[in-house]
Chain A
Amino acid sequence: MDKLPWVGVSVKRKEDERLLRGAGRFLDDLDDTVALHAAIGRCPYPHARIRGIDPGGALEMAGVEAVLLGRDVVARTEPTNVLRPFPGAATTAYYAMAHPVARYEGEPVVAVAARDRYEAEDALERIAIDWEPLPHVVDAEEALRSGSPLLFDQVPSNLLAASTVKAGDPDAAFRQAAAVVKGKLRINRVTGLPIETRGLLARYSDQTRTLEVWSSTQTPHLVRAQLAHVLRMAESDIRVIAPDVGGGFGIKMCVYPEDVVVCLLAIDIGRPVKWVEDRVEHFRGCTHAREAVHELELAGSADGTLTALRDRYVIDAGAYNSPFGPPMLTNLMLPGPYRLRDGEIERRVALTNKVPVGPYRGYGQPESNFVREVLLDRLARKLGQDPADLRRKNLLRPDELPFQNLTGATYDSGDYVRCLDLALSRVGYDEVRAGQAAWRREHRYVGVGVSCYAEFTGYPSSAFLGRTGAGFGAYESVTIRMDRAGRAAIYTGVSTFGQGMETTFAQVCASSLGLEPADITIYGGDSRGTPYSVGGFASRTMIAGAGAIATATGEIRAKMLRLAGHLLGVAPEHLEVAAGVVRRTDDPSVQLSIREVSEAAFLGHRLPPGDDPGLEATAYHDPPASAFGYGSVAARVEVDPRSGAFDLQRYVLVHDCGTQVNPMIVEGQIHGGIAQGLAAALFEELQYDRDTGQLVNGTLVDYFAPSAADLPRFELDHLETPAPATSLGVKGVGEGGTIGAAAAVANAIGDALAPFGVELDRLPITAESVWRALEAARSRPAAAVN
């Protein structure tokens, strides 16, 4: 079928009706009347040894069924395996409970199962633990210095991994540069903060020795594979089901320690056990993200050509290498959408006594965008050029694509310059430039800032992931099964966590089978009955999923044509599938309804020779290459230089995610990405106290997640350049909104305060940090101001 009638249509979401009625079923809505409830005891210190533990008081309490200790967990399980290892990374055993040494505040050390959560938490308070606090370190640069406390004896200097990539001749480029800018830039530690916390309901059958696990996860099949490994069970003896998931953002991927603990309790007791993370636990139990310190240099020639970059950066990994670990894309996307061939990047990954980090929407891309784009503005100022002009000069042009950047990413398609120009025009860039001098005379400091990005979406291929040592592939898979009524069901391992997959999968499927999205039912997130799936992350669900749907529906369509041809006495090549019917291409009055064809397939009474009954197909799709989205952000601010307070007046994003299956859902994804980008840029930071090693703002009262009142209205526009390598030409869109936010606002503030020579070098950007930067600029000798 050439035309896909439901692709590109803003179909209202299939998910919405149940969610709007309060009839969605999230993990904690699965009430099992015989289930016990678990509570988890956690280490109160950043680093400590358990000298002794006495659970006696808890076991005597009414309602308490079991207490699980760390030493039993270590004896009975394997450490959690790393699915996305850094090359050469040291091995650090990450067990589901710490024994005998705990390495961060919040690490699980004991668990109780009781009749209800209230009683389980009462029981935790009766467990006496004799702690020996050990020296700790919560700063990554400090952790790498000699003499710092070590987290693992086998990891010298707490250096988990180190690598250097070099391309071209950056040393020569820096020697010959007309201008060089340097900066030490700090990225804050944040977390994705889905409004639903994590949770698990585990049931174990003594008879069949099988485990059924309901989990609030983005990756049911990967959770099953990891649980099998950790619990030393066969994958076929474990079923993992994700119900409705209340937000993911990369946080709900893979196995967490608590998951293993709850499964062990269910196995031991022989009754279902449920655990739902509370929000205070969430801040200590779920992976954090993004914290890094970059020392970046850019070189440019007098005409504004960007000639080289050099970066030396440290990622703070926290106390363990979590399954997906620290971000991989910082290096890959550091060169950005620019014509840049010479560079050197040194990456060091440090262990600290903090919550382990993991993926969060963007996975390194917001970090590298911030440091590069902020320095690009400094380079422009040093060369006396307009920052937008400097970018326009260096952005890759359509005739230069595909282009392999200096870290190996191949940008596929698009018009980066046009995208920037659209953003500039939309935000009124020239008007701000024209008005700035007059406003400044009135002591009004208005500025406009831009940031440009190219975005890695999906994975190039399973073979690529294999070469990087990953524990999963790049594919996605579906089983599509028609029924006698001519409706279709899609079975997919991807779960529903807000991304609109039920609707977009239905649109692609309906388009190919002559149906309407309402005719399609999605059964997602259950490892039983779905083909092996990788899961919903890396903006890859539609990239890989659409390919699988196209292949499976192609097989079904071909069979419908054979079957209809047989029934109508027409050769299949003279037939086509159209809305609700199979018909003759040259005489549409000769037709059968899809319902009639389906009924014939399932009755099996009159089949063409060689065909079996039924209408269903299973397909896997492995994308042959990555798809690169891109975008430009333009922000306008007004700053009060007395207080540092600023008003984000305009926020424009122009992006290109290729073919849009559902423009309404795409726009929603972009909105959400921008909001999380701005949340990390302007509000949020997980702060650890250096002396006590405590997470000091790990509650929702203290961690400033923005509300509607804190964010501006976003203005969007888009280009649509189909990706050459993917089915339908789609590029991923889930993460793009996050990438450019911090740099655009930082650059707008820097522009507004240009008369003061302000340089912002840390996130989040708050009135206080702007005021401090102003104070620093005022105390600098004027000659040092670039």
Chain B
Amino acid sequence: MSSRHRIRVTVNGRAYERDVQGRRLLVDFLRHDLGLYGTHVGCEQGVCGACTVLLDGQVVKSCLMLAPQADGRTLTTVEGLAGRGELHPVQEAFREAHGLQCGYCTPGFLLSAVALADRGVVLEGKSLRAELAGNLCRCTGYQNIVEAVERYLRQTVGSRRG
């Protein structure tokens, strides 16, 4: 419990080296040790998806991992999508489609959408809704989130194929 581990991670292209407790959750490490507050905590049980990040390109829930498990790995959080530049296409799609209200669940949805685009499939309607079931939202009723992701996938994956 009180064991300490020296870990090296790359987050949003930047390398970090830190000492952490063995029981430190990855999401707490990202937020409170690295100051990357865009990744949120909603349930600590892997249900709501507010803490979704990409670990070596794969969608993971950072509340279900311990920080030492990320040693040597590469992470992307919402702060890594656009940096300080123009909004990333997925962010722009959410803005255009009014795909967010309180914005608390939004970073998790954005990263899930990016992972879908990386798989190179254009989904819509019910099949897309099934893919988004790992993220919960209480404000939007999902309709505009689905529309935003459809729009983003069409643009991104569609144009890659195009």
A residues apposed to B, CB below 8 Å:
12-13, 15-26, 28-29, 31, 118, 192-197, 244-249, 276, 278-279, 497-500, 664-665, 667-668, 671-676, 699-701, 705, 707-711, 713-714, 737
Contacts and interface: CB of A to CB of B under 8 A. Distances in A.
Contact of B129 (A193, A673, A708): A708
B48 A20 contact: no
A279 B45 contact: yes
A22 B79 contact: yes
B54 to A, nearest CB: 13
Nearest to B42: A195
Interface in B43-71: 43-45, 47-48, 50
B21 A709 contact: no
B104 A709 contact: no
Given A21-B82, A249-B138, A705-B138, A195 B94 contact: no
Contacts of B139: 247, 498, 668, 672
Given A17-B87, A675-B142, A195 B136 contact: yes
B144 A671 contact: yes
A26 B41 CA distance: 11
B44 A22 contact: no
Contacts of B87: 17, 20-21
A118 B136 contact: no
Contacts of B50: 195-196
Interface of B: 21, 23, 31-32, 35-45, 47-48, 50, 77-79, 81-82, 87, 91, 94-96, 98, 100-107, 110, 125-126, 128-130, 132-146
A22 B141 contact: no
A162 B12 CA distance: 60
A20 B110 contact: yes
Contacts of B91: 20-21
B37 A25 contact: yes
A707 B103 contact: no
A708 B94 contact: no
B143 to A, nearest CB: 5
A192 B100 CA distance: 17
B133 A707 contact: yes
Nearest to B80: A22
A191 B130 CA distance: 24
B135 A707 contact: yes
Nearest to B92: A20
B102 A196 contact: yes
Contact of A22 (B23, B95, B96, B107): B107
A667 to B, nearest CB: 8
5 contacts: A18-B103, A196-B40, A247-B102, A249-B138, A700-B47
A68 B69 CA distance: 36
Nearest to B50: A195
B145 A708 contact: yes
A497 B102 contact: yes
A20 B103 contact: yes
B38 A22 contact: yes
Given A195-B50, A707-B135, 18 more contacts: A12-B96, A13-B95, A20-B110, A21-B38, A22-B38, A22-B79, A26-B104, A31-B37, A192-B138, A194-B102, A194-B138, A196-B40, A279-B45, A498-B101, A498-B139, A664-B98, A672-B101, A707-B134
A16 B100 CA distance: 8
Given A16-B94, A498-B101, A668-B140, A279 B43 contact: yes
Nearest to B128: A708
B37 A29 contact: yes
A278 B102 CA distance: 19
A668 B95 contact: no
Contacts of A675: 138, 140-142
6 nearest A-B pairs in the assembled complex, by CB-CB distance: A22-B38, A19-B103, A246-B104, A498-B102, A675-B141, A498-B101
B104 A714 contact: no
A279 B37 contact: no
A714 B141 contact: yes
B60 to A, nearest CB: 17
B37 A20 contact: no
A676 B139 CA distance: 8
Contact of B142 (A22, A195, A197, A711): A711
A26 B37 CA distance: 9
A118 B33 CA distance: 14
Given A31-B35, A714-B143, A19 B21 contact: no
Nearest to B36: A22
Given A20-B110, A25-B37, A195-B42, A672 B140 contact: yes
A717 to B, nearest CB: 15
Interface centre among B50, B100, B125 (most CB of A within 10 A): B100
A273 to B, nearest CB: 16
A84 to B, nearest CB: 24
Contacts of A22: 36-39, 77-79, 107
Given A17-B87, A20-B103, A20-B106, A700 B48 contact: yes
A700 B104 contact: no
Contacts of B45: 279, 699-701
Contacts of B133: 707-710
A736 to B, nearest CB: 13
A21 B79 contact: yes
Nearest to B35: A31
B138 A247 contact: yes
A31 B103 contact: no
Contacts of B143: 671, 713-714
Contacts of A249: 138
Contacts of A17: 87, 95
A196 B94 contact: no
Contacts of A118: 21, 23
A25 B35 CA distance: 12
A332 B81 CA distance: 49
B93 to A, nearest CB: 10
A19 B106 CA distance: 8
Nearest to A251: B138
A86 B127 CA distance: 48
Contacts of B77: 22
A668 B102 contact: no
Contacts of B95: 12-13, 16-17, 20
B94 to A, nearest CB: 6
A677 B94 CA distance: 24
A709 B79 contact: no
Nearest to A669: B101
B82 A194 contact: no
Contacts of A31: 32, 35, 37
A674 B141 contact: yes
A504 B59 CA distance: 35
Nearest to B105: A195
A707 B79 contact: no
A519 to B, nearest CB: 19
B103 A665 contact: no
B142 to A, nearest CB: 4
